Amino acid sequence: MTRALLLSFSPHGKAAHGFKLGRALLRDLLPQAEVTERDYGGQALPPLTREYADALTTPGGLNGDATAVSEQLIVELEACDLLILCTPVHNFTVPAALKAWIDHVVRIHRSFTVSPQFEKVGLLHDRRTFVLVSSGNARKGHEPDFLTPYLTTVLATIGIRSVDFAYLPAMVRGEAAVNHSLEQAHQQLSAAISTGL
């Protein structure tokens, strides 16, 4: 049975269009899946503490309460074999809510290590991952996209390389534009999820 983790990083939480699309796809295409939903946009994760920063940057300092939230998020991630991240674009890149998740999950000696050649090497198993990206602008050509390359690099750093992006552009341009974006993304994701799992 598929274990899916569906995460929202939108201030609209579970009411975000991207999240609702992800939920509908899981319901329709993988009705047997065990789905865990989290709203890390509407209910933000705690900020990094000084203890957490010190734990990550001090040799042997990785145990204890300082890493409790990080550990919980990594365990939650490890438990899924299908990951769906639903995120808006904020100022050309990931929103602060998603950056907070990244800073908790990308943890040295836990989700990645560093080789003798100073390369970061992922320690998590790869898993099928979809990133649903909502934006106000049309995606291509109108403005720089720092989200896609950044998130691709971050996920690869912890070992997640089977990543597909689906874009919901023009989401501030009225109902017709929103519906068009949702239909396009639905088509793309239906095909990918049906064939890939």
Three-state SS for 196? helix
Shortest Cβ 119–ligand FMN spacing (Å): 31
Q: Kindly tell me which of 111 and 181 has the beta carbon lying closer to ligand FMN.
A: 181
* 162 labeled part of a ligand binding site: no
Nearer to ligand FMN, 3 or 173 (CB): 173
Q: Tell whether the torsion through CA atoms of 186, 188, 189 and 195 is positive or negative.
A: positive
Query: Cβ distance 131 to 161 under 8 Å?
Result: no
* Strand blocks (E) in 51-147: 82-88, 112-114, 120-122, 128-134
Closest distance between ligand FMN and the C-beta of residue 69, in Å?
A: 23
> Which residue from 156, 106, 129 is spatially nearest to 2, judged by alpha carbons?
129
Distance CA 184, CA 18 (A): 12
Nearest to 39, CA basis, from 66, 5, 67, 63:
5
Q: How far is the CB of 20 from ligand FMN (least distance, A)?
A: 9
Say if CB 83 and CB 38 are below 8 A apart: no
The residue among 102 and 124 lying less far from ligand FMN, judged by its C-beta, is: 102
For residue 185, the minimal CB distance to ligand FMN (Å) is 12
Which residues are at the interface with ligand FMN (CB under 6 A)? 10-12, 16-18, 88-92, 134-137, 171-172
* Spatial distance between the Cα atoms of 45 and 124, rounded to a whole number of angstroms: 21
Comparing CB distances to ligand FMN, the nearer of 52 and 167 is 167
Which is closer to ligand FMN, CB of 110 or CB of 173?
A: 173
Can you say which residues are annotated as belonging to the binding site for FMN?
10
Annotated binding site: 10
